[in-house]
Structure 1
Amino acid sequence: MKKRNVKSIQGRQVVPNPIGPECIRVTKVYDWVVLTNRDRNKVQIPEECFAAIEDARHEGNTITATCSEVVGTRSCDFIGAIPADIPGVPGAQIVSLAFHVHIRVQFFCNGEPLPGCNFVVPVSFMDEVILCFPEGTEINCNIFDVQCTVVLNQMLGDMVVLDVTMCKDVQVEAEVKLEVEAKFCGPRPVIPIEEDGFVCPTPRFPQQCPTFFPTDNCQCQGAADFGGTASIFVTELGTVTAATTGRLDLSALVCDQCTLAGSRIQVTYIDTLGPTPIGTPDDELDQSFTFTANEFLQPPPCSGDATTRTLTASGNGVITPAGGAPENASFTLTITENDVNPLLNTASLNINGVTTLVMITLTEAINPDLEVDVGVCDRFPTD
């Protein structure tokens, strides 16, 4: 059976390289965000430059301008922090930061530099961001990209407008000692020489803010893929549930490489209409729809035994019935892989929308085009 793109968690090496207990000193990341600012700043044009611009314009010349970052002028300042009263997010703080950069502005007349029109101006942004910032940690922030454009059509007297975009990286860090399995570790006991001495206490590291960083790794991953004719159940508000047969395309990938990010479910169903009852509009019988998942909850560990593994995933998405408006929906996906008998491989998807309910059940015995793969995530094996 062809496998889908669910990659193995553990690499395979020719030379044995077993994992053993090690204690390392590292910089631990307690929280990490990327911020983007874009703003238009009015800056003063030097008097000599402004006079040269006015003279050139009166003579009918074309004035252009450029702006660019001055290399080596990026800086970030930590201003302060106050507790953030956010339900369900203990330990969070509102952190104030100031970002600075110098911008070089240059004016040109018919493509040639104007005398006295090459000058540098400071540009700053203030940001407030919610971070996990426990006592004992430090803020490490930097600017990793700056873009600038001169807005010449918005010159206000001797002022020119700069359109500046600044991309920033903010991390909360502390130097800690960790085991390779990502647990805090402490120093070994002192080996006494002859006489007892003062014993230093075990150092304590800042505790991680729970609930929002880092995100949990999945314990089970899986994929399902089907394209072909299938019978499913579609119930619309006010109608009786009945099986319908049509073209079904289903693609699902959950926790690829044990990370919830990148998970996806996409379903397209095209109804094959039968005879239309007298007096019933055709569009009322069309049970075609599309569904896209946009939120995944952390799935539980794989269930099953030595030969069978089952992944159960749930979350939310958007279902769009034929001729109807998109509506929010919840879903439950179940994928089962059997190593001994592939005909027992199954994939089922239940979608609960506001007006539309869908039940899809596929088995490789009935739907030979079905392909499934389910694997246990084992990031830190003990063997």
Structure 2
Amino acid sequence: MHDLENLCIRVPKVYDWVNRQVDLPLMSFIGNRGLAKLNFDCEGASGSKDDPCKVLGKHTVARCFLSDSEGNPIDSLTSPAVDIEEIAQPDGRLSVTSTLPNGERVTLQKVKVLVKGFIVIEVSDAHGDTCISDPQPFAVAQTFFLCAPPGTEVVGHITFFECDSHLICDNYEFQQLDVSLTFCLDVQMEATVKVEVEGRFCRPRQELPINICDVRQIPPQCPDVFPGEDDDF
């Protein structure tokens, strides 16, 4: 049957959608207090407070990556380990009036969003020896002006993440480690709605027959090169 009919479906409706680059303030770990907070593990022994400058020497490379609260790397930027939620305001979302580039005036709502997660710093040398820090928390709040009527909810994703770290050693002793974070925050205002669409119901397709006992085919030859022609005959 290919006749179309009106169908009522339940779907998330996007009321507004923006994407913003977010640069966090520099995270600095300084001196013995900063080293203790990082709590580097250079030998695989949990809880050691090793100094990567002493263990690895001068020629090191520091990198950082997203992790969960246990320090496990996050493979997907949509992992629930990165928490993106709306900050509730005492009087609700404040409505404000804004002017579009074409001169039209629209009413938007003030939405505050909190992003929380963890990073791990890994310091390595040319021999592949590494020192790995404890997971370090980060958090940042962002304010958006969106079409966010009552009943809509924030749905957020991280679409890009970049973490840079720089280790400073002096006479093989830890002095400072600086970390900068940049990510792209994708924020949508959504609500579940029921809509009427024209369409037809889907049905499973027929499975294709698969014969695992096909007769083995003879490989094609290369007559242009073999056996070729013998000029002596």
Identity across the alignment (%): 24
Alpha-carbon separation, structure 1, partners of 2:2 and 2:134 = 61
Alpha-carbon deviations, 1:301-345, whole Å to 9, x = none?
xxxxxxxxxxxxxxxxxxxxxxxxxxxxxxxxxxxxxxxxxxxxx
Task: For residue 145 of structure 1, report the CA deviation from its aligned partner.
Answer: 3.0
Task: Name 1:100's counterpart in structure 2.
Answer: 116
Q: Quickly say closer, same or farther: Cα 1:146–1:24, change in 2 above 3 A.
A: same
Task: Name 1:361's counterpart in structure 2.
Answer: none
SS, match of residue 52 in structure 2: helix
Query: Amino acid of the residue matched to residue 143 of structure 2?
Result: E
Alpha-carbon separation, structure 2, partners of 1:77 and 1:111 = 42
Task: For residue 54 of structure 1, report the CA deviation from its aligned partner.
Answer: 4.0
Do structure 1's residue 61 and structure 2's residue 61 form an aligned pair? no
Alpha-carbon separation, structure 1, partners of 2:52 and 2:83 = 32
SS, match of residue 32 in structure 1: strand
Contact 1:28 1:175 in 2 (8 A): yes
Task: For residue 149 of structure 1, report the CA deviation from its aligned partner.
Answer: 1.8
Q: Quickly say closer, same or farther: Cα 1:150–1:26, change in 2 above 3 A.
A: same
Task: Name 1:24's counterpart in structure 2.
Answer: 9
Task: For residue 105 of structure 1, report the CA deviation from its aligned partner.
Answer: 0.6
The structure with more radius of gyration: 1
Aligned length: 162
Q: Quickly say closer, same or farther: Cα 1:158–1:40, change in 2 above 3 A.
A: farther
Query: Amino acid of the residue matched to residue 64 of structure 2?
Result: C
Query: Which has the larger strand fraction?
Result: 1
* Unaligned ranges ≥5, structure 1: 1-14, 182-383
TM-score under structure 1 length normalisation: 0.37
Task: For residue 128 of structure 1, report the CA deviation from its aligned partner.
Answer: 1.0
Contact 1:27 1:174 in 2 (8 A): yes
* Unaligned ranges ≥5, structure 2: 41-48, 68-73, 199-233
Alignment of 1:222-301 (within 5 A): none
Query: Amino acid of the residue matched to residue 42 of structure 1?
Result: M
Contact 1:154 1:161 in 2 (8 A): no
Task: Name 2:44's counterpart in structure 1.
Answer: none
Alpha-carbon separation, structure 1, partners of 2:19 and 2:193 = 23
Alpha-carbon separation, structure 2, partners of 1:148 and 1:179 = 45
Q: Quickly say closer, same or farther: Cα 1:92–1:154, change in 2 above 3 A.
A: farther
For the aligned residues, what is the CA RMSD?
A: 3.0
Q: Quickly say closer, same or farther: Cα 1:114–1:136, change in 2 above 3 A.
A: closer
Contact 1:69 1:147 in 2 (8 A): no
Query: Amino acid of the residue matched to residue 189 of structure 2?
Result: V
TM-score under structure 2 length normalisation: 0.58
Task: Name 1:161's counterpart in structure 2.
Answer: 178
Task: For residue 154 of structure 1, report the CA deviation from its aligned partner.
Answer: 11
2:165 to 127, 147, 150: 150
Contact 1:43 1:121 in 2 (8 A): no
Alignment of 1:1-383 (within 5 A): 18=4, 20-44=5-29, 45-47=34-36, 49=40, 52-56=51-55, 61-70=58-67, 71=74, 72=79, 73-79=81-87, 80=89, 81-87=93-99, 88-115=104-131, 117-152=132-167, 158-180=175-197
Alpha-carbon deviations, 1:141-173, whole Å to 9, x = none?
122332212134699x74422222212221111
